[in-house]
Amino acid sequence: MAQLNFGGVVENVATREEFPLSKAKEVLKDETIAIIGYGVQGPGQALNLRDNGIHVIVGQRSPSKSWDKAVADGFVPGETLFSIEEAAKRGTIIQYLLSDAAQIACWETIKKHLTPGKALYFSHGFAITYKERTGIIPPADVDVILAAPKGSGTSLRRMFLEGRGLNSSYAIFQDATGRAYDRVIAMGVGIGSGYLFETTFKKEVYSDLTGERGTLMGAIAGIFEAQYDVLRKRGHSPSEAFNETVEELTQSLMPLVAENGMDWMYANCSTTAQRGALDWKDKFRDAVAPVFEDLYDSVASGNEAQLSIDSNSQPDYREKLDKELATLHNHEMWQTGKVVRSLRPEREVK
């Protein structure tokens, strides 16, 4: 474990220098990694582990689209693709990657196969942090670990194929074997993490739920809609409103922020842009800070978790969700975006 200084705060991190893939493979050489669920995170983590030479099997309900996807990805029924229960039985490290609601529904099936010495792996702290609500309480004689990529499974896989790594957090809730640290870092390296920073299950889920509802999805989508709608109301065309709201941000500015930081991006914009951004930054911060305080309080109280459990457990959940997603999809801004993306040049314009 290394200690790095982040703006004056020292954190524990694991890097590829101290924990290379060769070491991860040595740690995991006698393990069978059973990935339960092949939806959001499952494919990326499974394929990266497999490509890194680690023994992976998948547990998935059949028939289902996810089962078919696993087959298409090269997992073989009866050899590396099994029912959820059979995979849990065979696995020594069980990666519990079902949705939060599905984890609750399948817990009794998984729990009976958590024999002494196994490890229960999560990529989200939800089930354990809110265990009084989820009922997911692991036996005391298994390791309970977490490696949480800071992005979607699709991004994890894409960056892996590009030879890059997606940063992840790691946590140890329970170390029954004395090997939990090596296991979790080896798994983090195996799934394609860039570096891994230490957290706890509680901090992971608090930050994750806040981020998803905040700058990662909820807040940014709301800000996009607000600016786009104002521009349209003031007479700007859909193309102009979309380009000034979304396209320039995602295609030009955010890549610069990702590469060099917001401070660098500010320093390399026009003086007019610098002046206006600096003048308005604090106004936006002060306007939304109370919303973020409310959001964090709602996460910490368990209210957001309960809302998720209640809604995702309803029999017509998918039907209701599809209607909400359709509303988002049909907004003029994203219909405009579809056209704009089709007009992007396939290669660099000279």
Residue-wise pLDDT for 232-280, tens only, equals 999 999 999 999 999 999 999 999 999 999 999 999 999 999 999 999 9
Pair (14, 138) in one structural domain? yes
3-state DSSP assignment of residue 182: helix
pLDDT of residue 17 exceeding 60: yes
162 is a domain residue: yes
Q: Which of 48, 3, 2, 6 is nearest to 25 (CA)?
A: 48
Pair (22, 85) in one structural domain? yes
How many other C-beta atoms are found inside a 10 Å radius of the C-beta of residue 304? 22
Is 329 annotated in the active site?
no
Report residue 345's pLDDT band, with 50, 70 and 90 as the boundaries.
confident
Task: Report pTM.
Answer: 0.92
Q: Is 57 within 8 Å of 90 (Cβ atoms)?
A: yes
From 113, 124, 329, 331, active-site residue? 124
For position 4, what pLDDT does the model report?
83
Pair (189, 219) in one structural domain? no
For position 348, what pLDDT does the model report?
56
Q: How many domains does the chain have?
A: 2
338 is a domain residue: yes
348 is a domain residue: no
Q: Is 142 within 8 Å of 122 (Cβ atoms)?
A: no
Q: Is 209 within 8 Å of 154 (Cβ atoms)?
A: no
pLDDT of residue 7 exceeding 90: no
Pair (245, 195) in one structural domain? no
Pair (254, 132) in one structural domain? no
For residues 226-233, give the mean pLDDT.
Answer: 98
- Return the structure tokens found at 1: 């474990």
Pair (235, 186) in one structural domain? no
Pair (185, 279) in one structural domain? no
Pair (60, 118) in one structural domain? yes
Pair (288, 173) in one structural domain? no
Q: Which domain holds residue 278?
A: 211-342
Pair (163, 27) in one structural domain? yes
Query: Where a domain ends, among 143, 166, 199?
Result: 199
189 is a domain residue: yes
For position 347, what pLDDT does the model report?
61
Whole-angstrom distance, CA of residue 102 vs CA of residue 114: 18
pLDDT single digits (tens) 40-90 = 899 999 999 999 999 999 999 999 999 999 999 999 999 999 999 999 999
